[in-house]
Amino acid sequence: MNIPENVKLYEHAIATFWFDEDGILYSVSKKVPRDVEVMKDYVIFVKKMLNNNKACILSDISNAAPMDKNTRDYIETELKNVYKAMALISKSPLGIMIANIYLKLNTPSFPTKMFANVKDGKNWLKQYL
């Protein structure tokens, strides 16, 4: 996913964020280790960015580093308090396959779906705005 020009960017250790004209939050993941402490900081960062409101997010996870089970469990309990819905995209067919398997085996507590492109992810998210 390309970061558009002329948008306000929010930088965190794990991703770059911005909002589109519809209020959808976008993120492009960075290839950095993700443990519980890093993800706690991420949750605090996003809550502050959203003024403690919930948002829909479209996240390019192509570069996202894998998380261990403790970190995944922590994120699952926290993200439902941050996001209304999450559309995930990846440039990697293998990444898409792994994410789809994970989503089938571990049903998130808020709407979450994997997409091959930004357009389809955004169209799906619009129902949750």
- Which tens digits make up the pLDDT trace of 72-84? 999 999 999 999 9
Q: What's the pLDDT at 92?
A: 82
CATH architecture, domain defined by 10-128 = 2-Layer Sandwich (3.30)
| pLDDT per residue as tens digits for the range 53-66 | 999 999 999 999 88
* Domain residue ranges of the chain, discontinuous segments joined by +: 10-128
The 3-class SS string of 28-93 reads EECCCCECHHHHHHHHHHHHHHCCCCCEEEEEECCCCCCECHHHHHHHHHHHCCCEEEEEEECCCH
pTM of the model as a whole: 0.92
